[in-house]
Structure 1
């Protein structure tokens, strides 16, 4: 339910005029889902273990279908609660603005005043009727909206892709668990191949859903279209999440077939053939992840916050797709230990090299930051001309006549004139937190795979699924401290309360902190492995 409530961020952004901060508040709900995953997926993994041990894998299929259905019902509930959560978003944004940080806002929630504020945000689901066709966007006799004298046709391609993406996203991890039961000797490979299915959803969201929704949001913020258009869009996106959840029952068998084929293929590859590929891909992933900082600079320059973040989602999509290539390869490395082709001790130095690749990628991201800012600026203008169609933009990039424009975005590496003395312009706590976030996040999957290699029997699958314990800690820290502060600084700069230089300083220091974070991850790796092993043993004893 909470996963689909990010749609409420858009109407809240329109009403508060703080787009980046609204999206940061939505990350809090995402944080809760990640926290739930600390227990949800590993517990499901225990059910898989029981099914494998009993030899009754078919019953697992039926149980997972019930989980898919519950996801659809959660999406329905979140759709009905859209007015309530939009009000919660607005109240949260106002509270962060007054208190100065997400952490202070969250600490105030358990108080009597905080609880009253939450109850004060309750809204009737009947308000959705006005969202579906608000009075100020109802067609006039001329077939036009009153506020703009232009008809607002819902982008049905966007809505259709949203339904498809939700249907696919719902079943990715669940299908991987089912396949891990069918191939117990290749369990780690199968579990980590959930992203193979989810990547189809990520492509749909990043290319066909988010960019168009972002352009509509930015246009409403700037007054180029009425806010009612965003309400209509949010209404249908929320409803589409429910429909997509139901369709997950039909995409589930197909997802199982796709992951099964990939598991068989990867499971028989040799360990040494793939590790240098993994290291190289990790360099690319971490480099592109750094472009999120460039997007904030570009958002201030262009005043198109939502569009800048939507373009970043394309870079994030590339990192997700790349991760879906190398994460299962790492899983197959762990499975080679199960099959006796390697030992757990042999994996440790290889994983150290993978972490080193993250350091190199972050350094490249720092050096290329000015170039990526120019790319974002150019892409935002191009996307506006194409009515938010990211697919059209990417298609045009395949034409040679546009290659010169990409090359013109090249800039020499620089720190935008940022000096060490500029540290005084920024909160120190969130810069330090960023170092730990990166340090933890880099090793999440690696530590889980190493822990799975050191364990035997049914606990190995549980350990692999416990990567969410490590990554969840990073997500929580990022959602509470790093992202909200960065979003607040970005919004303040967009609204003229801060200078562009302060945002540039933030981006530079966060990137340098990320480099330190990848170095720190080398020190955190072994303790993280031990934590996951302990967690797997505890879950094994409890369930």
Structure 2
């Protein structure tokens, strides 16, 4: 396996873990009572994720350009998607630990009001000691205590579809370039054909529902227990949706290549 692919796997692992942990930020915001501050602090992690994406796409595109005729391309892309799914599972197990660490970070930021100071504090002896003390193992009761009848099943389904499309859409345009090498640039520019549906689902259905539910918990209209169950459900649908991307990756790539040939 080439160094390029190994780097892509590592970057994608980081991106997927951060994406999974993102679901729990609303729960941290509710528990700390600092929802806006919570999202402001989480933007630091999102910056890491966006930076990883910035490096991942060119590396993967360059690899495909150099190995366009390789029969192993599909296997490599499937491996990347599988690693993404595994990272989502790892992220799910890290949520209890992340919530403790992140709650402390939010409270510290509320006092210091400085992201640089927060980062420096995180690597201080006190910060490292607190991170060690925050390590927590998920407990079985987190799942068994969920009231499944109260879960927003339609929203979980939308999230499943959205994640599957976004995961496949991140790689399908790049692979489509190997199907139609002469239209590689066009294929890369057509990624919105795949991601557009996911963006619509997220913007119109998923994010508004979670935002309303967050406000309902703050206002006492929804219990924190039900909200926690919803977050766990969202994480579960993300994991399943990520692996489901294996089924639509190839069709999505051929759809992009087809459109690229006829526009």
- Please indicate the TM-score interval, normalised by the length of the shorter structure: over 0.9
Match of 2:110 in 1: 384
1:57-456 aligned at under 5 Å gives the runs 272-337=2-67, 342-343=68-69, 345-387=71-113, 389-414=114-139, 417-419=142-144, 422-456=147-181
Aligned to 2:235: 511
In 1, the alpha carbon distance for the partners of 2:158 and 2:260 equals 27
State the shift of 1:325 in Å: 2.1
SS of residue matched to 2:221:
coil
For 2:145 and 2:170, the matched residues in 1 are separated by 34
- In 2, the alpha carbon distance for the partners of 1:369 and 1:514 equals 14
In 1, Cα distance between equivalents of 2:201 and 2:82 = 23
Separation in 2, partners of 1:296, 1:493: 10
Instruction: Kindly indicate whether the alpha-carbon contact (under 8 Å) linking 1:289 and 1:315 is maintained by their aligned counterparts in 2.
Output: no
Which deviations, in whole Å up to 9, do the C-alpha atoms of 1:500-522 show, x marking residues without a partner?
A: 11111011111111111011100
Work out whether residues 164 and 243 of structure 2, in 8 Å CA contact, stay in contact via their aligned partners in 1.
yes
Contact 2:176/2:254, CA 8 A, preserved across alignment: yes
Look up the SS of the partner of 1:484 in the other structure: helix
Partner of 1:82: none
Contact kept? 2:159, 2:237, Cα under 8 Å: yes
The TM-score with structure 2 as length reference comes to 0.94
1:373 deviation in Å?
A: 1.0
Instruction: Please report how far the alpha carbon of residue 344 of structure 1 lies from its aligned counterpart in structure 2 after TM superposition.
Output: 5.1
Question: How many Å apart are 1:410 and its aligned residue?
Answer: 1.2
Measure the CA separation in 2 of the matches of 1:362 and 1:438.
11
Q: Structure 1 pair 281/372, CA: closer, same or farther in 2 (3 Å)?
A: same
- Contact 2:101-2:130 within 8 A present in 1 as well: no
CA distance in 2, matches of 1:435, 1:422: 20
The residue number in structure 2 matching 1:207 is: none
Distance in 2 between the 1:350 and 1:283 partners? Answer: 15
Distance in 2 (alpha carbons) for counterparts of 1:331 and 1:417: 41
Asked if the contact 1:439/1:520 (under 8 Å) is kept, the reply is yes
Deviations 1:186-235 (A, max 9, x none): xxxxxxxxxxxxxxxxxxxxxxxxxxxxxxxxxxxxxxxxxxxxxxxxxx
Deviation at 1:381, TM superposition (A): 0.5
Cα RMSD, aligned residues only: 1.7
Give the alignment's TM-score, normalised by structure 1.
0.47
